[in-house]
Amino acid sequence: MDLSEKPVEPGVKWDAFTAVRWDDQALAWTKSMMTAPRYEALESWVEKAGHYALLAAAALGLIWGIVSAFKSNQLSPFLAGLVWLPIVGVAQYAAFKFSSTSRGLIRSSGSQLSSSSFLACIALWSLLLGLVALAGFTYGAIRMDSLSFFGTGVGLFVAGELVVWLCLNPSLLNIVIIPASTAGEEAIGVLTFFMKTLLRLVPVAFGIGVIVGDLGIFAAIIQLFRSQGFSIVDAPSSAWLVIVSAALPLIGYVLFLINYLVLDILRAILAIPEKLDAIGKK
């Protein structure tokens, strides 16, 4: 895909727009680094790490339940740890099944855009906003002495760079650049791009979310050992993060189907005038 499309208006001197030329060069350099095979390798690695992290989450949850039971001298935390095991097992099964299904949906749902300029603009804005978020939240984390604030900035930066990666490689979203016949079809193509982008980000969000949840449960266990009394710290919220992250493939799958059904209805409505014209000619 050529992200450096030049305007076709007569009388416009392309070289006069220095910022445009620099942005095109920046996109070309970024695209040489962010290739489609590298994204697929990263996605596969993070997803596998997420599944291993789910196994670790099951063990960490049980350990937390045992330690909490001894600290509080109650049986309920231990029972919660036992119940946690099948919950994580079912969550991992659903995550595994629907991750592969979601990728199959993208491969079987081709779409089109009339120009690569839209993707280039989204890539540039995502790149810029990701850097601004990282710098801004890092500054705020230093001023507030907050590690979670810094983690938020890193998360926003990673999300922005992944969007850039997908924009520069529309084949990952099964999008082709061909002229659209109507503005309605172009609008559907734009909406489909955002839907596919969110669905393609799900495996990475799943892996990172589960890993972060594991770290939270592990930190809760460490604090239990260090404290004199009983403390639940952030173990419940971290456990929720693990489960919600594991549910992302299923949630993304369902939302994609619903949205695609709506878009198919819109396509059918847009095709009515053309069919009526064909009937009138006959």
Annotated domain spans of the chain: 18-277
> pTM value?
0.81
CA distance 195 to 197: 5
pLDDT at 238: 86
SS3 category, 175: strand
Q: CA separation (Å) from 246 to 96, 206, 234?
A: 9, 6, 18
CA distance 31 to 145: 36
CB 199 within 8 Å of CB 256: yes
pLDDT at 154: 86
Tokens representing 56?
A: 């670790």
What letters, b where the CB count within 10 A reaches 16 and e where it falls short, cover 243-274?
A: bebbbbbbebbeebeebbeebeeeeeebeeee
CB 202 within 8 Å of CB 99: yes
For each of the chain's 282 residues, which pLDDT tens digit applies? 445 444 444 445 555 556 677 777 788 888 888 888 999 999 989 999 999 999 999 999 999 888 888 887 888 888 888 899 999 999 999 888 887 777 788 888 878 888 788 888 899 899 889 899 889 888 887 888 777 778 888 888 999 999 999 999 988 888 888 876 677 778 888 888 998 999 999 999 999 999 988 988 888 888 887 765 444 446 788 889 999 999 999 998 898 888 888 877 877 777 676 666 666 666
Neighbouring C-alpha atoms within 13 Å toward the C-beta of 239: 22
Tokens representing 128?
A: 């810029």
CB 242 within 8 Å of CB 209: yes
Angle at alpha carbon of residue 111, lines to 110 and 113, rounded to 5°:
150
Is residue 239 left, alpha or beta, with left meaning phi > 0 and alpha meaning psi from -120 to 50? alpha
DSSP count for the chain of H helices, then E strands: 7, 2
User: Quick count: other Cβ atoms within 10 Å of Cβ 29?
Assistant: 10
